[in-house]
């Protein structure tokens, strides 16, 4: 009989490649789980912010005060609690920039809606410090 441990010792090339393949698969899976869909990278945030009607439609959707008919708004509304709670930890660099820009526009252009947003997504004020730090962070 052949002994497997003699043919393929634990520190052999086959064992190393198996471990390497497993590590690659894990990293790939972790990236899929730990990041939001890249479709959000392609949203034209400047266009939304500049168009008052479109901006208001997104805001009303996020506040459950209107329909979510704008591009990706229903899906993004579902992600917002996590985005706020984690200070956008799963966001890509582009998504972080989009969130910062949108939150700053919301605060500056619609301060009352900004207060409603804060009350809805951070009613106990437990995320405000970390989320504010994130929004004010330099890119």
Domain of 14, in residue numbers: 4-33
- Kindly provide the b/e burial profile for residues 37-64, where b requires at least 16 CB atoms within 10 angstroms of the residue's own CB: eeebeebebeebbeeeeebebbbbbbee
Query: Which pLDDT tens digits describe the chain residue by residue (139 residues)?
Result: 445 555 445 555 555 555 444 444 444 343 444 688 788 888 899 999 999 999 999 999 999 999 998 777 888 899 999 999 999 999 999 999 999 999 999 999 999 999 999 999 999 999 999 999 999 998 7
pTM above 0.85, yes or no: no
Task: Let me know whether 42 and 29 are in one domain.
Answer: no
Q: Which tokens belong to 83? A: 């985005």
Q: Is 88 exposed, middle or buried (0-12, 13-18, 19+ CB in 10 A)?
A: buried
Based on the structure, what is the number of domains in the chain?
2
Task: Let me know whether 29 and 41 are in one domain.
Answer: no
Task: Let me know whether 62 and 118 are in one domain.
Answer: yes
Task: Let me know whether 28 and 42 are in one domain.
Answer: no
């Amino acid at each position: 009989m052949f002994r497997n441990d003699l043919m393929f010792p634990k520190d052999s090339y086959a064992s190393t490649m198996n471990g390497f393949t497993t590590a690659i698969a894990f990293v790939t899976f972790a990236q899929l789980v730990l990041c939001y869909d890249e479709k959000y990278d392609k949203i034209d945030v400047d266009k939304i912010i500049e168009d008052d009607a479109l901006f208001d439609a997104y805001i009303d959707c996020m506040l459950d005060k209107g329909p979510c008919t704008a591009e990706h708004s229903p899906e993004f509304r579902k992600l917002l609690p996590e985005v706020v709670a984690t200070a956008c930890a799963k966001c890509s660099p582009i998504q972080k920039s989009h969130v910062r820009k949108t939150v700053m526009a919301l605060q500056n252009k619609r301060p009352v809606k900004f207060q409603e947003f804060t009350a809805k997504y951070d009613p106990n004020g437990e995320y405000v410090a970390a989320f504010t730090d994130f929004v004010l962070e330099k890119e």
